[in-house]
Amino acid sequence: MTRERSDVTTLQVDLGERSYPIYIGQRILDDAGLYRRHIPADQVMVVSNETVAPLYLERLTTALDGFRVASVILPDGEEYKTLEVWRQIFDALLAERFDRQCTVIALGGGVVGDMAGFAAACYQRGVHFIQVPTTLLAQVDSSVGGKTGVNHPAGKNMIGAFYQPRCVIIDTTTLDTLDDRQLSAGLAEVIKYGLIDDPEFFSWLEHNMERLLARDPGALAHAIERSCRDKAEVVAADEREGGRRALLNLGHTFGHAIETGVGYGEWLHGEAVAAGICMAMDLSRRLGWVDQADLERVVDLMRRARLPVAPPAGIDRDAFLRLMAVDKKVLGGRIRLVLPDRLGHSRISDDFDAEKLDQTLRQYGRSPG
């Protein structure tokens, strides 16, 4: 019944029996065939938010004609990624009396995907799950790899599960309705892939940043595909972050401290990651792993992507140390960081001169007020 469309790119995340495809294409959000292929029974719960639902929920629901579809609309923003809001998904599932064979679809950005995925992981100890990311950040990062969860006031993503979707459906035309700030936030994660292990992609980004900001469909498609490919490879090698997968946290230990420190929702996740990557580059420079010119190239690219290159005032050195101490990247009391060791390559390390980290934190940290 479903014809393979030639204009859809399919990537595979190789995880044995938990393997799944990522579909990337234009106007595939309502491709009924894709859903029919991955939904095993008739009950479907769409989880979305107040911003995305008015734009796309009806199109998705129409494509799901023939299924028994219900939806739950969450408030929009990182500050709502809490246990309390998460609970609303269970209220909706139980109000519909949905059973173990039901499918949860996340329609929205990273917050919706993380919460819907974590609810799918826990409802009746696990039901089917599909990601339909509608922000650049979710399309290039959070929808792929199975990290789900919610925040705790004391730390980002502290409560969650590894839970893989049955498929990821990336409709690049949804970026047409994304606001500029959200687009830029997504670009921070795109630049991240270039810095972890893809110097060629970093260079491509330097040459194509203006096309991306102008939402050139070809440029966006390339950036999304390359990012998903890079991420799928790392996740396939290390699903539960025993080693290599931690590389994907480049800029995130500093970034999570920023998000928690200023209050969830004040800064977008991608904005905090951008500043965090600049801090990681600064530390690498102090360690002599990269030089001043490399640092400037990264800072320059972030600026061109309209992203912050330093944290906001209000988080000083002591606050950074305190906030970083609860991050999941801490092991046995030592701070473990992902640090570039040349432009386009990073390593995981807890073996660096702590004094240099202190210098970076003093340089970037500023007292409140």
Query: Which residues contact a copy of itself by CB under 8 A?
Result: 41-42, 83, 87, 90-91, 94-95, 97, 99-101, 121-126, 147, 149, 152, 154-155, 157-162, 240, 325-326, 328, 330-332
Whether residue 345 contacts residue 196, with contact meaning beta carbons closer than 8 Å, is answered with: yes
Which residue number, 25 or 149, has a Cβ lying nearer to a copy of itself?
149
Residue 152 is a catalytic residue:
no
Whether residue 33 contacts residue 2, with contact meaning beta carbons closer than 8 Å, is answered with: yes
What amino acid occupies position 252? H
Choosing from 78, 239, 241, 259, the catalytic residue is 241
Residue 241 is a catalytic residue:
yes
Whether residue 338 contacts residue 247, with contact meaning beta carbons closer than 8 Å, is answered with: yes
Q: Residue 322's CB: how many other CB atoms inside 10 A?
A: 13
Q: Residue 179's CB: how many other CB atoms inside 10 A?
A: 10
* Torsion (CA) 138, 280, 265, 202 in degrees, nearest 10: -30
Q: How far is the CB of 321 from a copy of itself (least distance, A)?
A: 12
Q: How far is the CB of 333 from a copy of itself (least distance, A)?
A: 8
Choosing from 252, 285, 317, 336, the catalytic residue is 252
Whether residue 360 contacts residue 316, with contact meaning beta carbons closer than 8 Å, is answered with: no
Residue 249 is a catalytic residue:
yes
Which residue number, 332 or 369, has a Cβ lying nearer to a copy of itself?
332
Choosing from 78, 189, 259, 271, the catalytic residue is 189
Whether residue 278 contacts residue 307, with contact meaning beta carbons closer than 8 Å, is answered with: no
Which residue number, 154 or 293, has a Cβ lying nearer to a copy of itself?
154
Q: How far is the CB of 96 from a copy of itself (least distance, A)?
A: 10
Residue 192 is a catalytic residue:
no
Which residue number, 153 or 369, has a Cβ lying nearer to a copy of itself?
153
Residue 147 is a catalytic residue:
yes
Q: How far is the CB of 170 from a copy of itself (least distance, A)?
A: 24
Choosing from 269, 285, 286, 317, the catalytic residue is 269
Which residue number, 162 or 204, has a Cβ lying nearer to a copy of itself?
162
Query: Three-class SS of residue 44?
Result: strand
Burial class (CB in 10 A: 0-12, 13-18, 19+), 185: buried
Residue 210 is a catalytic residue:
no
Query: Three-class SS of residue 326?
Result: coil
Q: How far is the CB of 153 from a copy of itself (least distance, A)?
A: 8
Residue 355: CB partners within 8 Å, gap ≥ 6? Answer: none
Residue 269 is a catalytic residue:
yes
Residue 151 is a catalytic residue:
no
Tokens of 269: 């996740």
| Distance separating the N- and C-terminal Cα atoms of the chain | 63
Choosing from 84, 125, 207, 355, the catalytic residue is 125
Q: Residue 169's beta-bridge partner residues?
A: 23
Which residue number, 55 or 330, has a Cβ lying nearer to a copy of itself?
330
Q: How far is the CB of 93 from a copy of itself (least distance, A)?
A: 8
Choosing from 38, 128, 226, 245, the catalytic residue is 245
Q: Residue 232's CB: how many other CB atoms inside 10 A?
A: 21
Residue 231 is a catalytic residue:
yes
Active site residues: 125, 147, 189, 231, 241, 245, 249, 252, 256, 269
